[in-house]
Amino acid sequence: MGHVPTPAAPASTAATTAASLGEPALGPLDGRYRASVAPLADHLSEAALNRRRVHVEVEWLIYLGTHDVVPGVRRLTDAEIAHLRGLPLGFDAAAVAELAEIERETVHDVKAVEYWIKRRLEGTSLADVAELVHLFCTSEDINNLSYALMVRDAVREVWSPAAHTVTDDLARTAHELRELPMLARTHGQPATPTTLGKELAVLVHRLRRQLARVDAAEHLGKFNGATGTYAAHAAAVPGTDWPAVSRAFVESLGLTWNPLTTQIESHDWQAELYADVARFGRVLHNLCTDVWTYISLGYFVQVRGQGTVGSSTMPHKVNPIRFENAEANLEVSQALFRVLEETLTTSRLQRDLTDSSMQRNIGVAFGHSLLALENVRKGLAGLDANPQALAADLDATWEVLGEAVQSVMRVHGLPNPYERLKDLTRGRRVDAQAMREFVAGLGLPEAEAERLAALTPGTYTGVAAQLVDVLGTPPGEG
């Protein structure tokens, strides 16, 4: 059997929350920011988790009824298979409520799913195979596969497209501003000029590296019983190659098989993924703080598409709230991803339940990250570069040419180049006339003297503009 895609959730099902039922929301993701993170609810909500559990249980029953794994189990018909696969597809608000009612009796979420499925087989041609539901399974066989499918699809279908969109928007801006000279500020001090586009391109390159890691992530799954030994399987049907069956089933779901586990899948792949998503967030946070600073310097003005009141009392202000909001949400998401990474990689002996509670926060971590992405995208869309401010800053800092002049002096063997430029420039402002007079008195070859005399802070950018080409063709133009 080939790859079986995970069924998509009806938006109205997985997105059902206390907030949507008119009850007060405890957290901002289910209140103020609900619309921004709603797509994730179809993958990472409690309802989505139970829908995935139904999906995995159903696919295992179908596997047993189509692969002659257990002697005597009859073959399922195409109509029966279609009926079974319709169960997760039809997992609506009424199913969520019914499952919750069953769980109040079982006090066990996965057992409640098993009973919910069995109810759906009563009075059908599948009634005779109802006891095969959850056969040989420990709860973690169902849960680990469900979480792997949930996280995989949440990243592929929601988070990663949003992250790529922001990165592509930034790449286009970098290409547009590739030639625009800007005073660099290493340690916050005037430094060798660059271009605004090149500095944004550095961030694009960093973000893309992390996205490549996220997009290449493995999503592991196990299906091997209560302590990972296939003990019940071998006791009931000793003649079957159970590791081979486990591998085939896990891979049929589109996941990577983990051959060696305790009762739980070890979650190392989750820790790796969350570390990469968090690192992407750290780079995005760096973008926010840099753009915020460029706005404060006047290098960017916020004029387009903000749709916001800048200050409640000062009409002239347009606050960089998109980037500040993104900063805060990135910090929350990174903290959650960090604790997920640290906690999920440890389980006492063969099993403890810390991972069960911890994994319920995966959606919250991705929610704050997704909210940050939306704010960065909107913030970037509201920026215009301000060439006049950039040019004014450059024209006020001719001393940054000291690096260029002393380098030429070194090449031509003139004495004490660094020290002479330090005496001229350190701790003082140097204007165009003073710099050109200094160059004229150096005794350089005429051609070199003329070239240095023509140099300005705005033209002293090296090959910064060409470096943007490292990003390749601007998105949308290839």
Residues belonging to the active site: 187, 311
Closest residue by Cα to residue 328 from 33, 108, 14, 1: 33
The structure tokens 């000062």 sit at 314
Contact 171, 474 (CB under 8 A): yes
**Segments of 271-358 assigned E as strands:** 300-302
**Cβ atoms of 338 and 278 closer than 8 Å:** yes
Rounded to whole angstroms, how far apart are CA atoms 156 and 258? 21
Q: Are 63 and 249 in contact (CB under 8 A)?
A: yes
Indicate the helix (H) or strand (E) that contains 221: strand 220-221
How many CB atoms are closer than 10 A to CB 321?
16
Calculated CA dihedral for residues 142, 254, 42, 167, nearest 10 degrees: 140
Question: Which is it for strands 256-257 and 220-221: parallel, antiparallel or unpaired?
Answer: parallel
C-alpha 257/C-alpha 222 separation (Å) is 6
Please, are residues 220 and 257 in contact by the beta-carbon 8 Å criterion?
A: yes
- Whether the CB-CB separation of 135 and 342 falls below 8 Å is answered with no
